[in-house]
Structure 1
Amino acid sequence: MIPTRLFDAIDYQQLNFSKKDMLVHKSNGHWQSHSTLEVGEAALKMAAGLHNLGISARDYTAEGADKVAIISENRPEWIISDLAVQQVGAVLVPIYPTTPPEELFYIFKEAEIKMVLISSPLLFNKYQAVLRELPSIQYIYSFDQTDNPLWSEIQLMADQDAINRVQEIKAGITGDHLATIIYTSGTTGQPKGVMLSHSNILSCAMLAKESFPFPDNPTLRALSFLPLNHIFEKCISYVYMFSGISIYFAEGMEKIGENIKEIKPHIFMTVPRLLEKVFEKINKTGQQLQGTQKKVFNWSIRIAERYDNQKWHSPLYKTKLRLAQILVFSKWQAALGGEILYIITGGAACPQRLLRIFNAACIPVYEGYGPTENSPVIAVNRHVNNENYIGTVGPVIDGLEFKLEEDGEICVKGPTVMQGYYKQPTLTAETVIDGWLHTGDIGTLIEGSFLKITDRKKELFKTSGGKYVAPQPIENKLKELDIVEQAIIVGAEQKYVGALIVPNAEGLKDWATQNNLPYNTLEQAIALPEIKKLFKDHIQKINQTLSSTEQIKKHMLLTKPWSIDAGELTPKLSVRRKVVLEKYKDAIARLFN
């Protein structure tokens, strides 16, 4: 069969590689599997129950279709609910469990949510006051026991007449039908509802599957922990389903390490911040070693930092790298289950140093790129033919038209481009012009085919001397040092560039301990002359690689990390620049006095 809708994944998998472990999660301390057949039956019964509750598409327009919101961590119920909602022609509106209540109110009011699926008492307690204020909400069901009816009761409402009706509805759903509205929190302004059709997401999944490529292999296991609310993980889940790859859901961010050791995954998706946390933990363990072991560990890191698969390395370097892999990096591989074939990172720029270290350690990490508006993949490094170029996001995936505007803005055209922004036709017209999606990202091509992202168009700023500065590459350089947690470059309409830096408390504590310096609190530590010199030296080293306009002349160390709860980070851990600039406007002003 040739799939044309997302829910075709069930029949496709059943036909080509029916599995006992399509979806797997941990319950009461044991991993429990859901077969392809079980998932298909559960989704169909839920769809029939939804139909009997009056959840439908009606006139098959974005405004006419009923909206079902889901607020949940990753679990089988998430995927089954998604497949069920699709089959009645309704539209799923996924919400990050970390979304602030006031933002959720805005989204639910605009989308006129009719039904809410929520996972736990904790999340229901967080949002119940907001949910009660919204007149459009008719039903609330939960996955776990709350004051609301359980989601399993929806399946119990199914009868044969409703099942037959769902089959008729499914037959009338085409690839152009709206599948989901994903609200992007973005780094500025109110959330925008990105409308994605079945064809948008399915095309992206299939093009990414062919380009990377992902093999059809029902023996492979993928670990899922990035929120399914984000289009990156949602799209890749369909890649898994259409490839026959089993999806194991992590118990939570705090148990990823434990779950990796248990299931020994072959694949997982991540964001750079999580990779940074993994390396910080590895490095902390290494710095606690003594004598020769510690020297070998640090020597191995230095060897790995020089790794570049695109360049020739001497036989001596290759010998040293092989020795480092045997003595040190083999232990890292074991900690990640020992069977990793590929890790794909996206959502933000990944520090090159980190990519070099992991790839040198035979832990293959491939960086990709794409906005929600493109469903999302535009480019990804590939695990074949040496098409992994560290420092780039790889070649544009097959099947997309691609161009760079005169100012370097990345534009793409193809079946993956969104239908538009929900209820925002003017913004849609400004973003998609003659079929071309204008991403707002600035890039360049390396060696003719590898795309390198240099910055966000809206984040470029001009100094008082009239010179443009791209902050993101400078911020990435700052964050390559283990003692830097977060950083933001400032200097719009100023004579020079400045930086706000949030130190990494753990990394700084380790450095202080190694150098026999006192460390009680972060506030006390950053007042020490030695610590001040450490950051100054790091910045001077970076400045040597920058133009005179880009060089950081002044910086300020902050003691409170930016967070999602405080509104300074998006759910995918990107800095909300506008929020940070406003909150720290007094501190920024002092940088330029």
Structure 2
Amino acid sequence: MREFTVPALVEPAPTGGLADSVYAAAEAEPDLVQLSRRTEDGSWAPVSARAFRDEVLATAKGLLHQGVRFGDRVALMSRTRYEWTVLDYALWTIGAQPVPVYPTSSAEQVRWILADSRAVACVVEHEDHAMTVGSVCDALPQLRSIWQLDAGALRMLELAGRAVPDDLVLRHRAAVTADTVATIVYTSGTTGRPKGCVLSHGNFAAETDNLVARYSHVFRNNNSEQPSTLLFLPLAHVFGRMVQVAALRAGVRLSHEPSLAPAELMPALASARPTFILAVPYIFEKLMQRAREAAEEAGKLPAFEKAVDAAVRYAAAQERHAFGDGPGPSAGQRLQHQVYDRAVYSKVRAVLGGRVRHAMSGGSAMNRELGLFFAGAGITVYEGYGLTECTAAATANPPDRPRFGTVGHPVPGTTVLVAEDGEVWVSGGQVFQGYLDDPGETGLILRQGWLATGDLGELDEDGYLTITGRKKEIIVTSSGKSVAPTVLEDRVRAHPLVAHCMLVGDNRPFVGALLALDAEALANWQQRRGKPPATAVDLRTDPDLMHELQRAVVGANTAVSRAESIRAFRILAGEFTEAAGLLTPSLKLRRRAVAETYADDIEALYAEASGPPM
């Protein structure tokens, strides 16, 4: 199959913007608990639709008082927290455009994003962020204000805006249409320089309204229980923003958690007790890893592995039945599943607060067996696929017939086409307007209404998409972070000892580097230090050489954020050559060939390195 379409379930709204849902909810159900806000003692305080609307309106008035106008761009540099959501909706209320900035961004990245977007103001989380922005202010003549959340930015805006009449805010909101730009989200390009994706209010509405309709059993009230979710994805990422918008449009109770570290995330899940979560595969991998470690510490690892196998086989039998290929789990499998549900699976669910039965995963590929395990343990993970350029999701597994190991069907209102060369193309209301002030790059990716994703894929006979590779060279880690490799590679390769450097990390927990050393330079280095002749492999444990190369890696990492940085490297036995098929005639890396040749070294790199915390 080359093309598959799923009709829209919700027609696009002809007028209005994203902030309208906040004001409509306050009018229709003023006492509805719209959000939960963390208090100083760690508990969750309910925020009603009326209270949230009032805070958004007060902040919007303060922004107007401080000179922010319709169409202005305001950068937001923070972790995921309640105040970000208030600011998003306040800015959307007055037709301004939030510009997310990862809180781990380097000064160089901050300077580029603020300069390219021509942001007139920047909201940061704390003093360190303020200092980062301050260090590049001289290159940002258009930047007029910096506000700090931890220093009471929202309270300051509220006080400043008291003299602004409500009617002025409402006139701004009335001017927002579906085509109005909602946000500029920067994403890494093939050159390594971030490009600003222009996403409209209509893009988010088309995406979220159709997802909510398709997954109504997840987003809507069932059995009188209000759906709720804990948002721990970065709001600087389009996936996190999509979750935020979908929750508030659907009446889902939304809570925020800024940290992915287990010590903070696990207690937050336990106390917030969401009914569903949205995450990246890395989260599910970590949950599985922690469960296995706990079983091993308790001396119950063999029993745990049997429970995992039973869950996978149970879910696989259910999957076959859904597609008409079998009778479903046998009587023996059902009985075994009940036993393990009490002993093992219920404990896995308890880690997520005990109420989660559904989850959505995106950002990178998820292992089929992992998806089957969670389904067998009572948590169905709907894997999806998308890009910043299509407002997060282009496809997702349907709720009635998920096919684990694939990224599912097109989101309602979307068509997926596999081009002649295997590239995945997408068409739908969520496809972005283009790259900010870059018609050249826009023309390369938007082709007569189609978004050329740069990813390779296959559609099966039932219209399920499987991603098979990338035309572009961007690395996507298992946490969903996109990394442009060439900037780091070139910086590491600038060291005299390094002949070639290639980054790895697709669907891995962090970015690693393969280093091919210059044989002549290495020999000279050894001679200067009075070391006996040895091969590059023999010197893998030499502390002086490792320190030298570590300096090169650390120097390269200063150009990027921590999430994009090289966490581990491995010295290879030889250099890359054209004769070996590892370089093109113009001496560019043949990445797939290098990865295949050094597959064992890549596995060893991740086996030996200590991965980052979740």
Matched-pair contact (CA < 8 Å) for 2:74–2:98: yes
C-alpha displacement of 1:447: 3.3
Distance 1:133 1:120, change over 3 A: same
Match of residue 513 from structure 2: none
The structure-2 alpha-carbon separation of the partners of 1:272 and 1:504, relative to structure 1 and needing over 3 Å to count, comes to closer
| Counterpart check, 1:102 vs 2:108 | yes
1:401 corresponds to which letter in structure 2? T
Task: Rate the CA distance shift 1:131–1:584 in 2: closer, same or farther, 3 A.
Answer: farther
Q: Distance in 2 between matches of 1:32 and 1:457?
A: 47
d(CA) in 2 for partners of 1:358, 1:568: 38
1:540-559 equivalences under 5 Å are none
Among 252, 255, 258, the alignment partner of 2:267 is 258
14, 39, 64: which one aligns with 2:52: 39
Which residue does the alignment assign to 2:289? 280
Matched, 1:373 2:389: yes
2:607 equivalent in structure 1: none
CA offsets 1:532-565 (integer angstroms, 9 cap, x no match): xxxxxxxxxxxxxxxxxxxxxxxxxx999x9999
Secondary structure at the aligned position of 1:158 is classed as helix
Match of 1:119 in 2: 125
Scaled by the length of structure 2, the TM-score of the pair is 0.73
Match of 1:196 among 182, 193, 199: 199
For residue 326 of structure 1, report the CA deviation from its aligned partner.
Answer: 2.4
Confirm or deny: 8 A CA contact 1:52 1:162 kept in the other structure: no
Q: 1:81 to 1:564 in 2, by over 3 A?
A: farther
Change (3 A) 1:54 1:588: farther
Given the alignment of the two structures, is residue 240 of structure 1 paired with residue 247 of structure 2, yes or no? yes
The answer to whether the 8 Å contact 2:44/2:272 transfers is no
Task: Rate the CA distance shift 1:177–1:314 in 2: closer, same or farther, 3 A.
Answer: same
TM-score normalised to structure 1 length = 0.75
Contact 1:250/1:256 (8 A) holds in 2: yes
SS in 1 for 2:360: strand
Match of 1:325 in 2: 341
Correspondence 1:397 to 2:411? yes
Q: Does 1:182 align with 2:185?
A: yes
Answer yes or no: is 1:589 the counterpart of 2:595.
no
Could you give the per-residue CA deviations for residues 515-543 of structure 1, whole angstroms, max 9, x where no partner exists? xxxxxxxxxxxx9xxxxxxxxxxxxxxxx
Per the alignment, residue 97 of structure 2 pairs with 91
2:145 paired residue number: 139
Distance in structure 2 (CA, Å) of the matches to 1:369 and 1:564? 34
Change in CA separation of 1:185 and 1:585 when aligned onto 2, cut-off 3 Å:
farther
Q: Secondary structure at the match of 2:234?
A: coil
The whole-number CA distance in structure 2 between the counterparts of 1:584 and 1:423 is 40
2:302 to 289, 295, 301: 295
Which whole-Å CA distance do the structure 2 matches of 1:413 and 1:41 have between them? Answer: 37
SS of residue paired to 2:458: strand
State percent identity of aligned pairs: 27
Tell me the distance in 2 between the aligned counterparts of 1:343 and 1:357: 13
Q: Which amino acid aligns with 2:403?
A: Y
In structure 2, C-alpha distance between the alignment counterparts of 1:10 and 1:119, rounded to whole Å: 24
Q: Distance in 1 between matches of 2:392 and 2:306?
A: 39
Counterpart of 1:130 in structure 2 is 136
Conservation of the 8 A alpha-carbon contact between 1:410 and 1:441? yes
C-alpha distance in 2, partners of 1:233/1:190? 22
Mapped partners of 2:265, 2:573: distance in 1: 37
Deviations 1:489-525 (A, max 9, x none): xxxxxxxxx99799999xxxxxxxxxxxxxxxxxxxx
Q: What are the superposed Cα offsets for residues 235-259 of structure 1, whole Å, 9 maximum, x if unpaired?
A: 1211111111110112522311001
1:272–1:438 distance in 2 versus 1, CA, 3 Å = same
User: What is the aligned partner in structure 2 of residue 219 from structure 1?
Assistant: 226
Q: 2:211 maps to which residue?
A: 208
Deviation at 1:188? 5.4
Q: Distance in 2 between matches of 1:203 and 1:563?
A: 43
CA distance in 1: counterparts of 2:555 and 2:190, whole angstroms: 12
Post-superposition CA distance 1:196-245 (Å, at most 9, x none): 01111111111111123344337122101001111111112111111111
Tell me the number of residue pairs that the alignment of Structure 1 and Structure 2 aligns. Answer: 493
Alpha-carbon distance in 2 for matches of 1:587, 1:76: 50
Q: Distance in 2 between matches of 1:365 and 1:139?
A: 42
What SS class does the counterpart of residue 104 from structure 2 fall into? coil
Give the match's secondary structure for 1:310.
Answer: helix
SS of corresponding position for 2:38: strand
For 1:52, the equivalent position in structure 2 comes to 65
Q: Name the counterpart of 1:18.
A: 30
Q: Deviations over 1:107-150 (max 9, x none)?
A: 111111110111122332444312454222111111112xxx73
Distance 2:570 2:410 in 1: 38
Specify the SS of the correspondent of 1:429. helix
Tell me the SS of whatever aligns to 2:384: strand
Q: Do the aligned partners of residues 303 and 246 (structure 1) sit closer, same or farther apart at CA in structure 2, a change above 3 Å counting?
A: same
Contact 1:226-1:270 within 8 A present in 2 as well: yes
- The unaligned stretches of length 5 or more in structure 2 are 1-11, 321-325, 486-501, 511-536, 538-548, 577-593, 599-614
Q: Indicate conservation of the 8 Å contact 2:220/2:226, yes or no.
A: no
Q: Once the two structures are superposed, what CA deviation does each residue of 1:383-413 show, in whole Å capped at 9, x if it has no partner?
A: 2x2x211011111111123311112211122
Compared with structure 1, are the counterparts of its residues 19 and 391 closer, same or farther at alpha carbon in structure 2 (3 Å cutoff)?
farther
The answer to whether the 8 A contact 1:182-1:193 is kept is yes
Q: Does 1:457 align with 2:448?
A: no
CA shift, 1:323, in A, is 2.4
Q: Residue 190 of structure 2 contacts residue 472 of structure 2 at CA under 8 Å; is this kept in 1?
A: no
The Cα RMSD (Å) is 3.6
* Deviation, structure 1 residue 584: 6.9
Distance 1:243 1:46, change over 3 A: same
Q: Residues of 2 paired with 1:398 and 1:456: CA distance?
A: 24
1:341 matched to which residue of 2?
A: 357
Separation in structure 2 between the aligned mates of residue 439 and residue 41 of structure 1, nearest angstrom: 40
What is the identity, as a one-letter code, of the residue corresponding to 1:104?
A: V
Does the aligned pair in 2 maintain the 1:563–1:569 contact within 8 Å? no
Alignment of 1:568-587 (within 5 A): none
1:325 deviation in Å?
Answer: 2.0
How far does the alpha carbon of each residue in 1:53-83 deviate from its partner, in whole angstroms, 9 at most, with x for none?
22112xxxxxxx3210011112221111111
Aligned to 1:357: 373
